[in-house]
């Protein structure tokens, strides 16, 4: 099992700072966690990182991510996903979502 690297991604002034877990090589895959967060790097994520470069951002309010006050509803969370793709510099990543 490969342990992920953790980094902070700043989305800009007055915007959230997002903790992103990353591991693996290959095509980019964005993993969006559910309401339970990413408790630990276990389960399916090591399997995905064996084939893809997995980006697993923690949503505002989870882990070291800030900016929960920036999300008023599900639409804000939806748009936040596009902000992440842009800030990570990803083009057409595979997308895996859980819950939410």
Question: What is the pLDDT, as a whole number, of residue 34?
Answer: 80
**Mean pLDDT of the 41-70 span:** 90
**Mean pLDDT of the 55-66 span:** 93
- Cα separation of 77 and 94, whole Å? 18
**Mean pLDDT of the 43-66 span:** 91
Residue 2 near residue 49 (C-beta atoms within 8 A): yes
- Cα separation of 11 and 1, whole Å? 30
Question: What is the pLDDT, as a whole number, of residue 93?
Answer: 96
pTM of the model: 0.89
Per the structure block, which two tokens stand in for 77? 């969370």
Burial class (CB in 10 A: 0-12, 13-18, 19+), 29: buried
- Cα separation of 87 and 11, whole Å? 7
- pLDDT tens-digit readout, 6-50: 999 999 888 999 999 999 999 999 999 888 777 666 678 888 999
Quick check: 85 pLDDT over 90?
yes
> Helical H runs in the chain?
44-49, 74-88
How many helices (H) and strands (E) would you count in the chain?
2, 5
Quick check: 1 pLDDT over 90?
no
| CA distances (Å), origin 73, targets 34, 39, 78 | 15, 23, 9
């Amino acid at each position: 099992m490969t342990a992920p690297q953790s980094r902070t991604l700043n989305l800009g002034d007055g915007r959230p700072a997002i903790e992103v877990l990353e591991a693996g090589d290959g095509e980019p895959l964005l993993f969006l966690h559910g309401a339970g967060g990413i408790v630990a790097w276990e389960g399916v994520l090591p399997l995905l990182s064996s084939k893809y470069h997995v980006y697993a951002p923690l949503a505002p309010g989870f882990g070291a991510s800030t900016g929960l006050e920036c999300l008023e509803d599900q639409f804000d969370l939806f748009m936040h996903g596009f902000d992440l793709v842009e800030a990570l510099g990803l083009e057409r990543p595979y997308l895996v979502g859980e819950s939410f």
